[in-house]
Amino acid sequence: MAKFIKNYKVFILVVIALSLAISLLIWLLMVWAEKGAAEGKIALIRIEGFITASQPIFGVTASSEEITKFLKKAKENEEIKAIVIRINSPGGSPAAAEEIYREIIELKKSKPVVVSMADNAASAAYYLATSASKIIALPSSEVGSIGAIAIFPQFGGLLKKLGVDVAVLKTGDFKDLSFPFRAKTDEEKKLVQTMLDDILEQFIERVAEGRNVDKEKVRELADGRLWTGRQAKELGLIDEFGGLNEALDQAAKLAGIEKYEVIEMKEQRDLLQELFFGLPTELGSDFVKAVLSEYLSLRVY
């Protein structure tokens, strides 16, 4: 009886082992078949949050350094046939938007680039989106906000109440223009407005080029307002309605493939950075400078 039980246990273990081996083999065959069926890969790149030219901060900003790096990798990878850029951003730095715009224009020469707009693709986010081969948004997406703005928080009144005075020594009249502890003079305001007007002109030129429309038509729309996706389509600011899946299908169609594999491109971070949503590990003066420059006195679209 004991021998029978022992043999029975061995038999059960063999059956379990064979079952696991067969299951693993079937899974491997399915994966192989799926990959074999794909005619190419589509790279998915996400732009989420405030767009900056510096490293991501707290996981709520999108870095043009990272985005352009992903675009270059997608261009160099022969297996990648098309690129979809998923945007959910209220805007950001003009320089960062221009950097990404240029990289997309270069990439588009060899591979189609489709933009998929989620909740929001405004200001700098819309600026860079116009460089794509096609823009797809949802009818309720927030699109546009063609314009420029400069924000200068003033803390002089607060310091005065605290009995704190700040002395400034400078080599030029405008060297402390972004200084947050005093009001701006009329001459300084005029200077900033001139800069904003030039940034707006660059914005208008990029939209006109990317959307292949007359500059004067874009200028009429450049009052800073947002449109719904449905309104934007009527104005020619986007091409079609759809979500991410439709954008992937459109990218595949432009690339001339039917079956594809999606490869999401993202930065690999260590555990500490992931826990703190991409918080930089160096918590010194560079980090403080990044926060101040990005949020206190930056010209933004």
What are the catalytic residues? 123, 175
Cα–Cα distance for residue pair 240/249, rounded to 1 Å: 12
Cα–Cα distance for residue pair 270/103, rounded to 1 Å: 27
Taking residue 107's Cβ as centre, other Cβ atoms within 10 Å add up to 21
Q: What are phi and psi of 171, to 5 degrees?
A: -105, -5
* Residue corresponding to tokens 């930065």: 267
Q: Considering only CA atoms, give the Rg of the chain.
A: 26
Is residue 227 within 8 A of residue 143, CB to CB? The reply is: yes
Taking residue 181's Cβ as centre, other Cβ atoms within 10 Å add up to 17
Nearest to 117 by CA among 247, 255, 206: 247
Taking residue 259's Cβ as centre, other Cβ atoms within 10 Å add up to 11
- Taking every pair of Cα atoms in the chain, the longest distance, rounded to a whole number of angstroms, is 103
Six-digit token pair at 260? 């594809």
Cα–Cα distance for residue pair 252/263, rounded to 1 Å: 13
Cα–Cα distance for residue pair 65/58, rounded to 1 Å: 16
Evaluate the CA torsion angle 46, 48, 54, 58 in order and state its sign. Answer: negative
At a CB cut-off of 8 Å and minimum separation 6, what does 134 contact? 112, 114, 115, 239, 240, 250, 254
